[in-house]
Each structure stands twice: as structure tokens, then as C-alpha cells.
Amino acid sequence: MFLKDYIKEVYGAVKSLIVGMRRTGYYFTHHKEIITEQYPDNRATLKLADRFKGEVVMPHNENNEHRCTGCTACELACPNGTIKVVTKFDITPEGKKKKAIDKLVYHLELCTMCNLCVTACPSDAIKMAQTFEHSVYDRNKLTKILNNPGSKIMEGVE
């Protein structure tokens, strides 16, 4: 009996190895199953999901106008102090003072892409962009000013 069990065990062991090898051999000969993406080479065709959180941007329209009112909701919502809103006072044609943003400073190096600023914004002024290649040689380049120079607030956004 001892010998029979021994042979049975050896047979089972060899069989288990062959079963595994057959699976590996299957993929060796079936190249259709390969799913690897050749990343730097496929940059032209690479498309990320629409909601992918790459960095915060402020969309401007063709007249160089944005929707930011300078309410600092994003600054308060941010857990890391990534966003700093610098405001100024514009003089309206009626002679009244009106709050507007001077610049919206965004520290990409601190950002964790948690999307809280975008959801906090009451006027949809900022959104997440799908860019992800953020490496630069100088870390100062990661501090960005989101509003374009000379931009102003869109008509009708309060």
C-alpha cells in the first residue's frame, strides 16, 4: 500500500505542475490575450477617462473670461492648502467696489487630486483636467496661476 500511495502522490504532483505549465503555454502561443500598453509609444492614441483627476484648471472662454468670483470656497475646502485665492477690488462703471480675483495660485506639488475644491465651487469655475505628465526640472514650475493674465469674470456670474 505504501508504494501505491507513493506513486499516486508522485503522479499527482507531476500532473499539477503540467496543468500549470499548460496554462502558461496557452498564453505563450495566444498573443491576442496580451493587454500590455506600450505607454510612451502610445501617447498619441492614449485617452484617459473624462473624470480622471489630473490637475485643477480654470476654463476660459474665447473672450478670456472665467467664472471665478473669488469666494474662496475652494481654498476653504482644500485639505492641504493647495489653492490660494488673492482678491482685489474692481471699480464698476457705477462707481461701486466689486470683489474679483487678482490671481488664483495653485500648488500642484501639494495637490492630492481629491476633487473637493471642484465640488465646493458654487459657480463651476474650476475643473479637473486629464493631464498627468507633471514632472518638471524646477519645482517652482509646479506653482501655477490658474487665471490667464488680463482675464476677467464672465458676465452674469455672481
Partner 1 sequence: MVEELGKTTEGDLIINVGPQHPATHGVLHLVITLNGETIKNVEPHLGYIHRSIEKMSESLTYRQFIYVTSRMDYLSAHINNHACAMCVEKGLQIEVPERAQVIRVIMDELTRIASHELWWGAMAMDLGALTPFFYAFRERETINEIMEETCGARLTMNYMVPGGVLQDLHPDFQRKVKEFIQLYKRKIHEYDELVTGNIIFQNRMKGVGYLSPEDAVSYGCSGPVTRGSGVSSDIRKHYPYEIYDKLEFDEILETGCDSFARYLVRIREMEQSVRIIEQLIDNIPEGDYQAKTKAVLKLPKGEFYQRVETARGELGVYIVSEGGTTPYRIKYRSPGFSNLSVLNKIATGSKLGDLVAMMGTLDLVIPDIDR
Grid cell listed for 29: 502561443
Which one, 20 or 59, has the nearer CB to partner 1? 20
Nearest Cα residue to 121 out of 90, 85, 156 = 85
d(CA 41, CA 139): 26
Which one, 20 or 136, has the nearer CB to partner 1? 20
CB of 57 to partner 1, least distance (A): 14
CB of 20 to partner 1, least distance (A): 5
d(CA 48, CA 147): 24
145: DSSP letter: E
Length of the chain: 158
Beta bridge partners of 143: 107
CB of 15 to partner 1, least distance (A): 9
CB of 11 to partner 1, least distance (A): 11
Which one, 100 or 114, has the nearer CB to partner 1? 114
Residues that bind partner 1 (CB under 8 A): 12-13, 16-17, 19-20, 22-24, 35, 48-53, 77-79, 112-116, 119, 128
